[in-house]
């Protein structure tokens, strides 16, 4: 029989997973919405982020410093990928875009495997996140609580960038109609470069922050990738609020279902997606008619 503490602690796990999925998915959905490219390398970039944390923490004991340098690395990687590969595929058919990003993902994962081997690596929990926190009758790992707060803060920053800055205005307009953004005098291609890089930083950051609570392996992103697809479909393709709400829903469903029977958790997620798509084909926050 399930006890309340178990259920509540699973609810917290769901929140941690949900915020993480929200961050991963917002990168995916913004890139899809603006550039029209479904980035199949997103899962690989999650792993690259985790390994960046693993490497950097061997040189510094400051988790924050490692994260900052790691973000710089992800930003550079994002710029590089967009400039030398992705931008040549904006006008190509979706099949080509899927193939090339899938290929990029494989190359990244295999580079990581070649450099670090296939065995799981451990990334230490930051010094300020050690131990567990007592919350009423529940004892919960401190870093996981902090993770929820940190990612919530990151999502809020992303929200502010999208909804309170000119850059965000261009991104939101570009998600609807990139052609018209260009007709209004804005260099869309430059905006695309930034959007891609921001998406890569978001997923890389998720990988870095998550590294201390999971086994870090080259293939760790594959699962997240699949779940993120569900999330952005749930939330509505290209919708940032949709990615956040969809991420939280998906996180809770996976965690709460696994409290009862872990083998059903993914099944429940896909079942929910199917039901929602029948009732609301454009997803929770999607607008109708967007191809």
Q: What mask, x for binding another protein by CB under 8 A, covers residues 175 to 214?
A: xxx-xxxxxxxxxx--------------------------
> Residue 192 has which token pair?
């695309």
The count of residues interacting with another protein (CB under 8 A) is 19
User: Should residue 160 be labelled a site residue for another protein when binding is judged by CB under 8 A?
Assistant: no
Q: CA torsion sign, 133 to 231 to 153 to 44? A: positive
Q: What mask, x for binding another protein by CB under 8 A, covers residues 251 to 290?
A: ------------------------------------x---
Instruction: Candidates 47-55, 104-112, 172-180, 260-268: pick the segment binding another protein (CB under 8 A).
Output: 172-180
To another protein, the closest distance from the beta carbon of 29 in angstroms equals 14
Q: What is the DSSP string of the chain?
A: ---HHHHHHHHHHHHHHHHHHHHHHHHHHHHHHHH----TTHHHHHHHHHHHHHHHTTT-S-HHHHHHHHHHHHHHHHHHHHHHTGGGGTTS-HHHHHHHHHHHHHHHHHHHHHHH-SS-B--PPPGGG-SEEEETTEEEEHHHHHHHHHHHHHHHHHHHHHHHSHHHHHHHHHHH-HHHHHHTT--HHHHHHHHHHHHHHHHHHHHHHHGGGS-B-TTTHHHHHHHHHHHHHHH-TT-HHHHHHHHHHHHHHHHHHHHHHGGGHHHHHHHHHHHHHHH-TT-SSPPTT--
By beta-carbon proximity to another protein, the closer residue of 47 and 232 is 232
By beta-carbon proximity to another protein, the closer residue of 207 and 246 is 246
To another protein, the closest distance from the beta carbon of 166 in angstroms equals 6
To another protein, the closest distance from the beta carbon of 122 in angstroms equals 43
To another protein, the closest distance from the beta carbon of 240 in angstroms equals 10
To another protein, the closest distance from the beta carbon of 236 in angstroms equals 11
By beta-carbon proximity to another protein, the closer residue of 156 and 183 is 183
Q: What mask, x for binding another protein by CB under 8 A, covers residues 13 to 52?
A: ----------------------------------------
Instruction: Candidates 5-13, 51-59, 165-173, 243-251: pick the segment binding another protein (CB under 8 A).
Output: 165-173
Q: What does the binding site for another protein look like in residue numbers (CB under 8 A)? A: 166, 169-170, 172-173, 175-177, 179-188, 287
């Amino acid at each position: 029989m399930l006890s309340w503490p178990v259920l509540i602690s699973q609810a917290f796990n769901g929140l941690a997973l949900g915020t993480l999925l929200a961050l991963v998915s917002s990168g995916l959905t913004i890139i899809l919405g603006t550039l029209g490219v479904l980035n199949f390398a997103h899962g690989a970039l999650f792993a690259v982020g985790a390994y960046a944390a693993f490497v950097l923490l061997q040189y510094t004991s400051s988790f924050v410093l490692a994260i900052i340098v790691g973000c710089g690395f992800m930003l550079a990687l994002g710029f590089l990928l967009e400039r030398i590969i992705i931008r040549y595929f904006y006008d190509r058919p979706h099949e080509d875009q899927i193939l090339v990003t899938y290929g990029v993902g494989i190359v990244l994962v295999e580079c990581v495997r070649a450099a670090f081997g296939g065995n799981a690596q451990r990334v230490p929990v930051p010094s300020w996140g050690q131990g567990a926190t007592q919350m009423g009758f529940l004892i919960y790992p401190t870093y996981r609580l902090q993770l929820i707060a940190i990612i919530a803060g990151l999502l809020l920053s992303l929200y502010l960038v999208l909804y309170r800055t000119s850059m965000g205005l261009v991104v939101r307009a570009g998600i609807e109609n990139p052609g018209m953004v260009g007709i209004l005098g804005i260099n869309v291609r430059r905006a695309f470069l930034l959007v891609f890089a921001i998406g890569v930083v978001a997923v890389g950051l998720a990988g870095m922050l998550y590294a201390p609570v999971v086994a870090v392996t080259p293939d760790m992103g594959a699962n997240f990738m699949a779940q993120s697809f569900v999330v952005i479909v749930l939330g509505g393709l290209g919708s940032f609020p949709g990615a956040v709400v969809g991420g939280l829903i998906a996180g809770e469903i996976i965690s709460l279902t696994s409290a009862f029977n872990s083998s059903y958790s993914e099944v429940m997620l896909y079942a929910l997606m199917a039901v929602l798509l029948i009732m609301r084909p454009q997803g929770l926050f999607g607008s109708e008619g967007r191809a």
